[in-house]
Chain A
């Protein structure tokens, strides 16, 4: 199989999503650790050549260079012979994509809120935290409805890429002072995500075992 190289920063939640999908799909990935903070190595000339957007994660293979988390996740899930994180049915697939876009686009504010809180980066802390909380509430409302329908995950009965893409924003929310008290449905869902074979943690997400 083609060699997968992930340009990675351990504390970055987008890089964590990639590591998590790779682990759940049993795909070996070679990590190249990047000094994102405080070194800002992702905007150094060699990295800007790889990704002019100046961001991580970047996934490199002999054939492709991918620099959007969603695209990387889709690629990895597609490489998995068992396709365990990809629904085949059209509606479930579309729902997965809907939440994947939510995670990549809307929820990017949670990454910003967390970076402001823990790395003291510039930005509007209170505003980004309030936006993150409002988005987590949308997720809580959805999972409350899913539970009533007897569905355990965001896009249906089975775990998909959507759940993995959404998980870090909830699991790390305490880093920007958003507690889990008001999200009972997300607490139960996060427990199911944790129980997925191959699940791994990152700094800030405790391993209970």
Chain B
């Protein structure tokens, strides 16, 4: 079944103002970037000029520029400036495809199918981002792994709530592609540092346990 609705693609605090990053959902490459005013954007990760990944580029104010030739796009995805032709009024037809984007629960989200603009925002409780854990395994295997270590695991769309030790967690689920997943781990903002560090270790162990049978099978 193909996934629909909101999916998390990054933890908010790891996309600093003025930066960009690449990611993928079901194999479709996305650039997630934040302008210097703090607003997040999720676009197709492809410059219409030469197909370069926009995520390799750089953010300038409320524009993102391609690394290859510096073509700059505004927040509507429209090309505004071509450095090789500084006096050119750029035709408005040069655009990068934009996707739905919102922030909730300490995560940045886009919506599937890509290009769909849902009217209702994702329902995620206020949480702090711990880390995004990238795992070389299909999402099913990751979920099975979470269930072996956490209790009270319950899934709604791309979110699961679970308790690990004493800590109530909200985990955002991202299918990067058939063999790669991301868990965007969030927790209550009053979680002590020692607990956060212990959770980091537990999730690193989880990643190892999920990946090692797959690695052995591949050999």
Chain A: minimal CB distance from B142 (Å):
14
Size bin of chain A's contact surface: 10 to 19
Stretch at the interface among B14-22, B82-90, B119-127, B151-159: B14-22
Alpha-carbon gap, A200 to B14, bound state (A): 24
Q: If A184-B11, A184-B132, A188-B16 touch, does A144 touch B200 (CB 8 Å cutoff)?
A: yes
Chain A residue nearest to B67 (CB atoms) is A206
Alpha-carbon gap, A184 to B55, bound state (A): 13
Alpha-carbon gap, A197 to B204, bound state (A): 34
Say yes or no for A158: interface residue by CB 8 A criterion.
no
Say yes or no for B24: interface residue by CB 8 A criterion.
yes
Contact in complex: B193, A149 (CB < 8 Å)? yes
Say yes or no for A181: interface residue by CB 8 A criterion.
yes
Instruction: Please give, as numbers and ranges, the residues of chain B lying within 8 Å of A84 by CB-CB distance.
Output: none
Set A144, A181, A191, A208: member contacting B23, Cβ < 8 A: A181
The prevalent SS among residues of A at the interface is helix
Chain B: minimal CB distance from A188 (Å):
6
Say yes or no for A141: interface residue by CB 8 A criterion.
yes
Query: B1-17 toward A: CB 8 Å interface, digit per residue (1/0)?
Result: 00000000011001010
Interface residues, chain A, with chain B CB atoms under 8 Å away: 141, 144-145, 148-149, 174, 179-182, 184-185, 187-188, 191, 206, 208
Q: A141-B200, A144-B131 are in contact. List 9 more A-B contacts (CB 8 A).
A: A145-B197, A148-B200, A149-B197, A181-B23, A184-B21, A184-B131, A185-B131, A187-B19, A188-B14
Interface residues, chain B, with chain A CB atoms under 8 Å away: 10-11, 14, 16, 19, 21-24, 55-56, 58, 67, 130-132, 134, 176, 182, 193, 196-197, 200, 204
Residue pairs across A and B with Cβ atoms less than 8 A apart, 14 shown, are A144-B200, A145-B200, A148-B130, A148-B193, A148-B196, A148-B197, A148-B200, A180-B55, A181-B55, A182-B134, A184-B11, A184-B14, A188-B16, A206-B58
In the complex, the 6 A-B pairs of residues with the closest C-beta atoms, listed nearest first: A182-B134, A184-B14, A208-B58, A144-B131, A181-B22, A148-B196
